[in-house]
Chains A and B, each alone.
Chain A
Amino acid sequence: MTHTSSSRQSVAARAGLAVGTSGSGADVRSDAGTAARALVAYLVIGTLFGILFTKAEVISWFRIQEMFRFQSFHMYGIIGSAVVVAATSVWLIKRFGVRTISGEPIVIPPKVLGRGTRYWVGGTIFGLGWALTGACPGPLFALIGAGHGVVVVVLASAVAGTWLYGYLRPRLPH
């Protein structure tokens, strides 16, 4: 049932796109306006998220140490309650076939397990770095914003690490 409605939806989306691209200048401008408004929405959610990260001290090297030393519930409480709230939301979205605000069906593509090598090897490598820097990728950005300028170097190094992965990707086991 969802299948039929989703294919109908994508036909409508294609039709809409065709009108948008072949239409008048006003249509094109309004499309650009919609895209810009959407970007602002993501920017706002990101901003709230950055404030949250900073004030809950998730970006703190000390808090990450506390977590890996099992000396406080703080980080476990944050990650645990975030997962519970997110899982409940995802379940409700699936259960009631909730759509996006523009009416598209919500789809969450499953991650491919394969042999699973990439997950435990990559995960462990990230974990080694996480406890060194005290920051996963999100906090790196919040730390820079909060005035820890030297974290720009950490971020640049992380981009370099990602680049090396991309370069070696064909030769790595996944």
Chain B
Amino acid sequence: MIELLSRPWPWYVAGPLIGLVVPALLLLGNKQFGISANLRHACAIVAPGRVAFFRYDWRRVGGWNLAFIVGVLLGGFIAGQWLASDAPISISDATRTDLSALGIRDFSGLVPNELFNWNSLLTLRGLVMLVGGGFLVGFGTAYAGGCTSGHAISGLADLQLPSLIAVVGFFAGGLITTWLILPVLL
């Protein structure tokens, strides 16, 4: 059983299960699946200042969502600790070739270990990717009012036009980074 669970899960198992999170949260307490709201709750907890956007009762509004992301963290730990597979990441050969050409060498983990480590923060490349990238994720999701979960999954599932516009934006941004920025940066 553990052997089976340790292999990478195929899309047709993972995708539908991720989709079920939407009705599960609705049935449990009328909650909208949306993870980036937690970044706002974090601001409301740590440094609301005089910013109106962060002055609300985060315990009442976001308590459930904070419990949810503590769970996500725990899930990552469980999967990493007890369900990890030893095999290198099974990405397509084309991607491996492209990324090798950009200078990525280490394909042993879920992320390129040469970029995702503390020393990497001392390089311009690492700083732009980790600190700059994180900043854009936080600013962009707050501005757009949602991320992949809130717009691409919950929003599209409810056939909402704003979410479709946001998702087109997600892809436009991702393509710009992948095809124009990464070749210069890496």
In terms of DSSP, what is the predominant structure of the interface of chain B? Answer: helix
Report the separation of the CA atoms of residues A43 and B70 in the bound assembly, to the nearest whole angstrom: 7
B61 close to A (CB within 8 Å): no
Given known contacts A86-B23, A162-B43, A157 and B130 CB-to-CB distance under 8 angstroms? yes
Report the separation of the CA atoms of residues A62 and B19 in the bound assembly, to the nearest whole angstrom: 22
User: Is A131 in contact with B76, judged by CB distance below 8 angstroms?
Assistant: no
CB nearest to A59 among chain B residues: B110
Given known contacts A82-B153, A84-B19, A165-B143, A50 and B136 CB-to-CB distance under 8 angstroms? no
**A136 contacts which of B35, B73, B76, B78 (Cβ < 8 Å)?**
B35
Report the separation of the CA atoms of residues A118 and B39 in the bound assembly, to the nearest whole angstrom: 17
List 12 additional A-B contacts (Cβ < 8 Å) besides A68-B174, A120-B165: A45-B71, A59-B110, A82-B16, A83-B152, A86-B20, A111-B160, A128-B136, A128-B176, A129-B173, A131-B173, A146-B77, A163-B54
Return 28 A-B CB contacts under 8 Å, by A number.
Answer: A38-B64, A45-B24, A45-B25, A47-B78, A49-B75, A51-B83, A54-B76, A55-B9, A60-B111, A87-B158, A89-B157, A90-B22, A111-B163, A120-B166, A123-B166, A124-B140, A125-B140, A127-B172, A127-B176, A128-B177, A130-B133, A133-B133, A138-B147, A153-B131, A158-B39, A158-B137, A163-B47, A170-B52
Q: Which B residues contact A (CB, under 8 angstroms)?
A: 5, 8-33, 35-36, 38-40, 42-43, 46-47, 49, 51-54, 63-65, 67-81, 83, 89, 91-92, 94-95, 98-99, 107, 110-112, 115-118, 120-121, 128-149, 151-163, 165-179, 181-182
